[in-house]
């Protein structure tokens, strides 16, 4: 599904965490297509990250990749600082990095719990805080959550759902804190989306979606691009679900 570009982000600088694959890669591509200069982090997929850089640069966009583990507050803060130093400003921050480790509550290990919280919740806080300190007034912060904050649906998803539900509260409070600077903070909650990792489960989840299909990465990226634009200046503190009616 092709995205329609309006070049609404020309002159803006964006940082996307976890941007080398899946939804994150789609967001990087869309923000660059809208004219933003984009920095994105990756934890391990260096070749995929470089491939995205080559692709966007060949289309005339400005992009760079930075290796950073979102579980490390130091590396995450360095990515924010590096982006600001490289491009001279920061207008858009997208906290996308996240992991999913399934397991029923009676068997879930504390090690997996701590890592899920570190990457899905702590990293969102660290990145949001660091970005807000560097960001120009009128900036845009978008957190990528999940519709599992509303509906867990399957056994083994309790901890993941908990981490995504935590983001709804973080976004509401941060939106109030940053409102005096006209910085908006919003949470996008995708439902089942066709990526390399999730497509194998399409047969299981598609019957549960009223629209009878999984979402496309470009559709999630389009919502993020809108929230990052000037047109979305009156939307803040919101958790916006995009899931084909899955939780309706």
Tell me which residue has tokens 């919003």.
186
Q: Which one of 42, 160, 226, 246 is the catalytic residue? A: 160
Cβ-count burial of 131 within 10 angstroms (0-12 exposed, 13-18 middle, 19+ buried)?
buried
CA distance 191 to 215: 7
Neighbours of 25 (CB within 10 A): 26
Q: Phi/psi at 9 (nearest 5 deg)?
A: -115, 20
170, two tokens: 């973080």
131, two tokens: 């970005």
CA distance 73 to 56: 28
Active site residue 160: yes
- The answer to whether 144 touches 190, Cβ cutoff 8 Å, is yes
- The answer to whether 65 touches 52, Cβ cutoff 8 Å, is yes
Task: Map residue 148 onto helix, strand or coil.
Answer: helix
Hey, which residues are catalytic here?
A: 160
């Amino acid at each position: 599904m092709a995205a329609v570009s309006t070049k609404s982000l020309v002159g803006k600088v964006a940082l996307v965490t976890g941007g080398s694959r899946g939804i994150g890669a789609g967001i990087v591509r869309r923000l660059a297509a809208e004219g933003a200069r984009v920095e994105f982090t990756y934890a391990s997929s260096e070749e995929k990250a470089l491939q995205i850089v080559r692709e966007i640069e060949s289309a005339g966009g400005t992009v760079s990749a930075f290796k950073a583990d979102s579980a490390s507050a130091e590396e995450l803060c360095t990515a924010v600082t590096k982006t600001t130093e490289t491009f001279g400003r920061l207008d858009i921050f997208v906290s996308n990095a996240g992991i999913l480790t399934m397991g029923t509550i009676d068997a879930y290990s504390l090690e997996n719990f701590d890592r899920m919280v570190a990457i899905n919740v702590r990293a969102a806080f660290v990145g949001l805080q660091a970005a807000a300190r560097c960001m120009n007034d009128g900036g845009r912060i978008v957190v990528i959550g999940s519709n599992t904050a509303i509906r867990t649906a399957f056994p083994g998803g309790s901890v993941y759902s908990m981490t995504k539900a935590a983001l709804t509260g973080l976004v509401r409070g941060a939106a109030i804190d940053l409102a005096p600077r006209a910085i908006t903070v919003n949470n996008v909650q995708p439902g089942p989306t066709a990526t390399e990792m999730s497509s194998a489960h399409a047969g299981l989840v598609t019957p549960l979606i009223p629209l009878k299909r999984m979402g496309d990465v470009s559709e999630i990226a389009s919502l993020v691009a809108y929230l990052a634009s000037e047109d979305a200046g009156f939307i803040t503190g919101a958790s916006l679900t995009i899931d084909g009616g899955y939780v309706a």
